[in-house]
Amino acid sequence: MPQLQASQEHPEAPEGGRQYGKFQNEIYSNGIMNNSMPTVTTNPNKLEAQAKLHLGVTSYNYVTGGAGERATMDANRLAFRQWKIIPRMLRDTTHRDLTVEIFGEKHESPVFFAPVGVQTIFHRDREVGVAEIAAEIGVPYIMSSAASSSIEEVAKANGSGRRWYQLYWPHDEEITVSLLNRAKSNGFKVLVVTLDTWALAWRPADLDNAYVPFAKGVGNQVGFSDPVFRRKFKAKHKKEIEDDVLTASVDWEADVFSGKAHTWDQIEHLKKNWDGPIVLKGIQHVDDAKKAVEVGVQGIIVSNHGGRQMDGATGSFEVLPEIAEAVGDKITVLFDSGIRTGADIIKALCLGAKGVLIGRPFVYGLGIAGKQGARDVVKGILADLDQSMGLCGIRTIADCTPSMIRKVRYGGDLKSSL
């Protein structure tokens, strides 16, 4: 068995990106030399249980819950277990390069913070804290429209970091344009349009406690800070939002989660008012992926909202390869829903994703130890990715190809880390 030395150094790499694998040695060194153990578990199968110890019942149920019986959540994880990595030996993978180019910009890794709303219910550090540490570790931050921080606050906290803006699409076009203009003027480079949440799904974990944070104004900060929404609210009710938060919440949610779906022809309005890349989040069907190419957007995210919207749906990873094959290089394919480990990321990249979004894991870290907890969870996943690439014979992201994995089915994978 290889012996670990406390002073063991991670090999220095040539220029080409951060060496995230060093985090592993930092953990060992802190433990051996300082008797300091990780605050947040490094075991992806224990992370949710640890978060439960730190979160209130409604906050915990909100992040862990899914639509219906959570069958789609189960499918997301089980889909990964049906694909196996085939390691290659005697390749020079001492130094790995995790950098990737997406929409003409070089990123230090293919990993993104997924858009997650109402982060204040998990920890007072909320979105501004996570946006801050995202810049620190070189991971782009995708801000949710359902944030408990304003667009301007998140941009300031993120500083020189990379940031994208996720839109829960209002039906009021004037408000939509106002949100897009604020995002653009605050340095958000890519617009991510969520398609699958124009109404809230049947979510028993929230229903059993009659819990909707937005109803009391939590998670509505983007709307409440918007000048157009504020003007319209005052004209309608003859008072300010702060004078009647409950009514303001009703008005905001009626526009954003109205129960009325958008249609493909309305994408044109977004294209006219956003001069950067547009990415459609929530694509699960090959025909929808092809339609996205047809309407002229630049990217799609193969996602089922982490199983939060449609119960009994296919796992996102199950449909990724056919979607990636169908659209080829005509559009950038990203992946979301079910990523927990470095091996998961390798599998998604091998089957055609150019980047992946991480959601629940960083929220668990946030709940456990604030922004530093979120940071350490994502650093851990990146370290796992870095080390796993080296161990299976992959030096660069471009080396993640279909030849590195194989689909299998056997009884040992009927259960997974869910």
Angle at alpha carbon of residue 161, lines to 18 and 308, rounded to 5°: 95
Helix axes 360-391, 57-64, angle to 10 degrees: 50
Do 149 and 170 meet the contact criterion of CB atoms below 8 Å apart?
Answer: no
Could you tell me the sign of the dihedral formed by the alpha carbons of 159, 165, 166, 169, in that order?
Answer: positive
Amino acid at 339: I
Question: Active-site positions?
Answer: 305
Instruction: Please list the helix, strand and coil fractions of the chain in percent, rounded to the nearest 5, in that order.
Output: 45, 10, 40
- In 138-270, the DSSP E strands lie at 141-143, 163-167, 191-194
Which are the contacts of 347, defined by CB distance < 8 A and separation ≥ 6? 80, 83, 85, 317, 405
Helix (H) or strand (E) segment spanning residue 357? strand 355-358
